[in-house]
Structure 1
Amino acid sequence: MNDAQEETDVLVVGAGPTGLLLANLLGSMGVSTILIERNETTVPEPRAVSIDDESLRALQAAGLAEKIAAITVKGYGSIYRGPDGRRFAEVKPFVKEYGFDKRNAFEQPLFEATLREALSRHKSVTARFGAELVDFSQDSEHVLAEVKQGTRTRTLRARYMVAADGGRSAVRKALDIPLEGSTFQEPWLIVDLQSTRNRCFHTEVFCDPRRSAITLPGPGGIRRYEFKLNPGETAADAEQEGFARRLLADVGPDGEEPIRRQKVYTFHARIAARWRDRRVFLAGDAAHLTPPFAGQGMNSGLRDAHNLAWKLDEALRMADPEALLDTYETERKPHAWSMIELALRMGKVMMPVSVPRGTIIRAGFRLLGLYGPARDYFAQMKYKPKPKFAAGLIRPVPNGPGAAAIGRMIPQPVVATLDRQQILLDGCLPDRPVVLVFAEMPDRWVDADMLERLRALGSEVIGLTPEWMNPVAAPFPILRDQSRFFSEKPFRECLGHALLLRRDRYVAAIEPVESLVGLIPMIERLTAAPRSCEMEQLAAEEELQAQAV
C-alpha cells in the first residue's frame, strides 16, 4: 500500500545516539524533522559505555544535560597495570574545562531510551520505528525517500537527508562512498556483567603481552570486560561461557558473576572518503569507525550531530547555503580522524606486542611520572586532541593576540551573574551567534547603535569579565569568569577583544573591542538573518571605507 507523499525539512535515517541527538537538536530549533529507524525500538544491549565532556556539552545544547547526568557515573579515570598487576600509570582528570567531567560511564540502552523519550518535547519532530529506507533519489531541491513501515510504503520528500545508519550504512553504500583506513586483525571478546565484585571506581587496563584486557565500570553496579583474543582462538570458542569465566578469573574477582552479554568484535579504524553527496550527509558510524581504546567512537558521532544540526537550520533559510554546508566535512573529518589516531596510539600502550616492548613502555611512563608537567599531561588527558578547526566556518588571523583561540571550542566556566547566581556559561548564551566581549569593562565598548546593529544581524552581545572584575548592569548581560578558564592560554590573550561564537560555541573570529564592526561580515556568514536596506547601505559604505584605507 502506498500513501501520499509527505514533506519534511530533514530526514534522519537511523536512531542510534547520533541520529537521536541530531533529531533532538533540530527539534529544539523548530526544524521539521522525520527520524526513521528500521528496528522496532532503540538498542536493548549495551554497546558504548563511555561519554565525554564534549558530548555532554552537545547534550546540554539539546536541553538534556540534567537527564543524562542522572543516568551516568561521573568522573572516572584509568589505571594502567603491567603483567604483575602493579600500576605504572594513571589517568584521573578532574578539570572540567567544558563544564563536565571528561569521562563518564553510562548504559547505552538507557541513554538511547532517554533521547527517544525526549523527542516528544518537539512538535516539529516525528519518530518512526520499524520504518526502513528502501530507496532514495535526489535532485537540486529535494531528496525523495521510499520508506517501508509494515505493509505501507511512504514517499518522503525532504530538503536534506542525514544518514546515521551505522557502520554498515546502506545509504553510504548506495552513494558508492568508500571507507578509507584499516581493519584490526585482532578480535576482542566483550563481556558485560549484570553485577560485579570489583570495587574499583576506575577503568583498569591490563597491558600484558600474553593477553591485553580492559575492565570498565558502569552505573548501577555493572561492569564490562574486554579481552584480546590470541592467535588460534575463534569467535565460536570465545563466545562459550566457560571461556569467559576463565578470562574473568585471571583479572579480578568477577569470575562467577552473571553474564549479560558475551560477543566477539573486530575493530576498525576507517573513515568515509566523502561525508556529503549534494543533499545527503553521513554522520556517526556511517562516516567513521573508531577503535574503542580511547572511548571516542560514539562521542565522535555526537560531535557530528552538534556540528551539523545548526548548519542545517541556517541552510533552510539561506538562498545559497552551499559554502556553509561544505564546512561540515571540512571541520569534522580531520577531527574525527585525529580521534581514530588517538585510539591507535592508545592501543599500542594497551597491547604491547612483546615482553621487552611492554617493559620499555612501563619504564617510560614511570620516568614521565617523575616530571610534573609530563605527569599532568597524561593524568589530565591533555593528550586528547582539542576540539579545534584549522579550516571551515572560521576567519583565521596569522598571528597576534587571540589568534590561537580561533577555531577552538571555548571553555565553559561557571560564571557569576549580576544577581550573584552561579551557572555554566552556556546556560546564559542564546542559540544564535554571540559576540562575547571579554574585557574588564565590556559595557564601555558597545554603544546603543552597535548593540542594535549586532542584534539586527541575528547575533546577541554578552559581556564577560575576568575573575577579578565584578559584572555591572548594562543594556546586555555581563558575566564574571568565576572558574578562571579564560585566564588560561590561549584565551587569556583574548582580554580586550570580542570573540564571535558560533551556535556550537566555537570561535569563528576575533576583533579588538575598539573595532567590533569588523565582526559583521563573519556574522553574516553564520546566520540567515535578513538584512535591512539600511544595513545593506551601511555595509557598502564600510567596504568602500576599507578599500580607501
Structure 2
Amino acid sequence: MTTDPYLKTDLYDVAIVGYGPAGETLANLLGQAGKKVIVFEKEESVYHAPRASHLDGEVMRIYQSIGLAEKIEKVTIGAKGYHFLNAEGRLLTELVRRDGKGPHGWNHHYRFHQPVLEGLLRKGAERFGNVHVHLCHEVTRIEQNEHHSAILAKNRKDGTTRETKALYTIGCDGARSTVAKWMGTVKRDVGLHEPWLVVDIKLKRQVNLPNTGIQYCEPARPTTFIPYVGARDRFRWEMKVLPGETKEELEEPERVWELLSRWLTPEDAELERAAVYMFHSTITERWRNNRLFLAGDAAHQMPPFLGQGMCAGIRDVANLSWKLAINTPNNPTGYTLSLDEMTAIAEIARENHIHVFCDEVYKGLEFDGNRLPWFADVYENAVSLGVMSKAYGLSGLRIGWIGTQNKEIYDKMIGFKNYTSICSSAPSEFLSMVALSQL
C-alpha cells in the first residue's frame, strides 16, 4: 500500500469493491473530493476484451467533472443511429441520433474500446495519493456495525489476507456481486434471459462495411451490427443463439467465421473476442444496507440494445459520490492531527514567528471519542475556525466562530468584520445557543 503521511489512520472513508468502469469512475470522483479510498479488484489488470461500447453526453459530462473528458474524447468516435432491416433488407424504421453538441456540452453518443477507456480511468485515479488500489485481491468477507464496515480481502498471488475498515463499502463488482451477497439482498427478475453470441473483430485491411448501426430483424437469427467500436477498424456483431446451439459450438473460430461470412472473411480481420453471453434484465431489491451500497451491474442489469448498461452504472456512482463526500467527516483526508503533532507544529511556528490558521469545522466528530483541544488553545498565535453546520448537524446555519489568544489578531478581525460580514438572523442565533447548551 502507498504510504501517505496525511493518511495515518487505518480507517478509510470509502472502500470500493470492483474496479471496472463504475468503480474506476467512483475512485476518481472520491479521490478528487479528497476522500481516503481503498479499492479491491480480484483481477490483475484491465480485462483485455471489449464489453461495453457506448457512452452518452451525460457520462462525458461526469468525466469532464474529474478532468478526463478531453482525453477520453480522443479515443472515442461519435456514434450514429440504427437502421432496423427486415430479412429482405428493407428499412423498417430507424433510430436517428442527433449530430453536434447536446445539452451536456458534449456529443449525444460515443463509441469506445473498453480496455482503452479503463486504462485512462485508472491512470486518472493515480493522480490522487489518497486512492489506494489493490489489484489481484478478492474480497471474501464483509461485515458492518454502526460505526464502520470491515472487509477481508485475499491476495490471489501469495494467499495473504488483509482486513480493512471503511466508513462505507460500495459494491461495483458486477452481476455476481460479493457485496450484494453479504448484504443479503436478492434480484428481481424482469423477465429476459437470452443467450447471444458477441463477436468483436479488428480489420486487417479495408472492407466495405456499414458505417451506421444495424438491427437485422431476421427471424432466422436476429443480429445487431455495431460499427467503429472506439476505432474505425473495430466492429461488433451480436447474434441470438438459436435452440439446439451450444456455447462451445458457437465459440469455435470456424463457426464464428461461418456466421460472419456474409460480411467478411478471416483474411479481412482478426477475432478479438467471440463469447456467448446471457442477456439479463434484473434489478436488485435493495441497493443499500446501512453502510453497504451497490452500483452498476451489481444493482441492475439490462440488455445491451440501447447502450445504457455502463451509462447507468456511471450515473449511479456520480449520484452516490457527492453524498459520500458530505457524509464522511474530517474533510478532506479523514485524518486529524494528534496532540503530539499539534504541539510539534506549534513549536515550529513559534520558533519561526508563524501564525497558524486551523480549519476545525469537523471537531466533535472524532471516531475514537478522544476530543482534542482547539489549536488556538495549544498555540498563542493560532486561529481556530468552528461552525454550527457540520459537527452540530445544523446545516444551513451560517453561524460560526473564530478563536485566538492573540489580542492583536482578534482586534483586527473584529475591525474587518464591520466591513465584510452581515448580522446573523435571530432564529439562527437561538438555535445555535440551544445546540451549544447541550454539550
Q: Name the counterpart of 1:531.
A: 398
**Do 1:5 and 1:155's aligned partners in 2 also have CA atoms closer than 8 Å?**
no
1:188 corresponds to which letter in structure 2? Answer: W
- Does the residue aligned with 1:181 lie in a helix, a strand or coil? strand
Q: Does 1:94 align with 2:99?
A: yes
CA distance in 1, matches of 2:265, 2:299: 36
CA distance in 1, matches of 2:160, 2:397: 41
Residues 372-451 of structure 1 correspond to what in structure 2 (within 5 A)? none
Query: What are the superposed Cα offsets for residues 245-268 of structure 1, whole Å, 9 maximum, x if unpaired?
Result: 222123x34565221111001111
Q: Does 1:207 align with 2:217?
A: yes
**Do 1:275 and 1:281's aligned partners in 2 also have CA atoms closer than 8 Å?**
yes
Q: Name the counterpart of 1:187.
A: 195
**Out of 80, 100, 110, which is 2:116 matched to?**
110
Q: Name the counterpart of 1:7.
A: 11
**Do 1:142 and 1:159's aligned partners in 2 also have CA atoms closer than 8 Å?**
yes
Normalising by the residue count of structure 2, what TM-score does the alignment of the two structures yield?
A: 0.71
CA distance in 1, matches of 2:165, 2:396: 26
**Out of 291, 304, 307, which is 1:292 matched to?**
304
CA distance in 2, matches of 1:93, 1:210: 32
- Does the residue aligned with 1:258 lie in a helix, a strand or coil? strand
Q: Does 1:219 align with 2:227?
A: no
CA distance in 1, matches of 2:396, 2:12: 22
**Do 1:23 and 1:33's aligned partners in 2 also have CA atoms closer than 8 Å?**
yes
**Do 1:74 and 1:103's aligned partners in 2 also have CA atoms closer than 8 Å?**
yes
- How far is 1:76 from its partner? 2.3
Cα 1:198–1:227, aligned 2, differ >3 Å: closer, same or farther?
Answer: farther
Q: Flag the structure with higher helix content.
A: 1
Q: Name the counterpart of 1:177.
A: 185
Say how many residue pairs are matched. Answer: 333
CA distance in 2, matches of 1:527, 1:188: 54
- How far is 1:540 from its partner? 7.5
Q: Does 1:34 align with 2:38?
A: yes
- Does the residue aligned with 1:177 lie in a helix, a strand or coil? coil
Q: Name the counterpart of 2:171.
A: 163
Normalising by the residue count of structure 1, what TM-score does the alignment of the two structures yield?
A: 0.57
- Does the residue aligned with 1:194 lie in a helix, a strand or coil? strand
- Does the residue aligned with 1:100 lie in a helix, a strand or coil? coil
- Does the residue aligned with 1:307 lie in a helix, a strand or coil? helix
Cα 1:536–1:273, aligned 2, differ >3 Å: closer, same or farther?
Answer: farther
**Out of 57, 67, 71, which is 2:71 matched to?**
67
2:207 corresponds to which letter in structure 1? Answer: R
- How far is 1:531 from its partner? 3.4
Q: Name the counterpart of 1:430.
A: none
Query: What are the superposed Cα offsets for residues 129-179 of structure 1, whole Å, 9 maximum, x if unpaired?
Result: 111212121111101111222343222111111011110001111221000
CA distance in 2, matches of 1:7, 1:34: 10
- Does the residue aligned with 1:155 lie in a helix, a strand or coil? strand
Q: Mean alpha-carbon deviation: is it higher for 36-45 or for 4-13?
A: 4-13
2:217 corresponds to which letter in structure 1? Answer: C
**Do 2:194 and 2:280's aligned partners in 1 also have CA atoms closer than 8 Å?**
no
Q: Name the counterpart of 1:236.
A: 248
Q: Does 1:133 align with 2:22?
A: no
**Do 1:34 and 1:126's aligned partners in 2 also have CA atoms closer than 8 Å?**
yes
**Do 1:76 and 1:105's aligned partners in 2 also have CA atoms closer than 8 Å?**
no
**Do 2:52 and 2:310's aligned partners in 1 also have CA atoms closer than 8 Å?**
yes
- How far is 1:6 from its partner? 2.8
CA distance in 2, matches of 1:288, 1:76: 26
Q: Name the counterpart of 1:51.
A: 55
**Do 1:194 and 1:259's aligned partners in 2 also have CA atoms closer than 8 Å?**
yes
Cα 1:234–1:5, aligned 2, differ >3 Å: closer, same or farther?
Answer: farther
- Does the residue aligned with 1:160 lie in a helix, a strand or coil? strand
CA distance in 1, matches of 2:181, 2:10: 25
Percent of matched pairs sharing the same residue: 35
CA distance in 1, matches of 2:39, 2:181: 20
1:118 corresponds to which letter in structure 2? Answer: G
- Does the residue aligned with 2:133 lie in a helix, a strand or coil? strand
Q: Name the counterpart of 1:142.
A: 148
Cα 1:313–1:535, aligned 2, differ >3 Å: closer, same or farther?
Answer: farther
* Structure label with greater radius of gyration: 2
CA distance in 2, matches of 1:198, 1:215: 14
CA distance in 2, matches of 1:295, 1:527: 42
Query: What are the superposed Cα offsets for residues 20-77 of structure 1, whole Å, 9 maximum, x if unpaired?
Result: 0000000111111111111111211111111111111111111110111011012422
1:305 corresponds to which letter in structure 2? Answer: V
Cα 1:176–1:78, aligned 2, differ >3 Å: closer, same or farther?
Answer: same
CA distance in 2, matches of 1:285, 1:528: 34
Q: Name the counterpart of 1:399.
A: none
- Does the residue aligned with 2:174 lie in a helix, a strand or coil? coil
CA RMSD of aligned residues (A): 2.6
**Do 1:11 and 1:33's aligned partners in 2 also have CA atoms closer than 8 Å?**
yes
Q: Name the counterpart of 1:417.
A: none
CA distance in 1, matches of 2:71, 2:394: 30
- Does the residue aligned with 1:121 lie in a helix, a strand or coil? coil
**Out of 103, 118, 121, which is 2:127 matched to?**
121
Q: Name the counterpart of 1:19.
A: 23
2:251 corresponds to which letter in structure 1? Answer: E
CA distance in 2, matches of 1:305, 1:183: 26
Cα 1:12–1:185, aligned 2, differ >3 Å: closer, same or farther?
Answer: closer
Q: Which ranges of structure 1 fall in alignment gaps of 5 or more residues?
A: 319-525, 543-549
1:209 corresponds to which letter in structure 2? Answer: P
CA distance in 1, matches of 2:191, 2:279: 6
Cα 1:25–1:529, aligned 2, differ >3 Å: closer, same or farther?
Answer: farther
Q: Name the counterpart of 1:259.
A: 271
- How far is 1:194 from its partner? 1.6
Cα 1:8–1:536, aligned 2, differ >3 Å: closer, same or farther?
Answer: farther
CA distance in 1, matches of 2:65, 2:321: 11
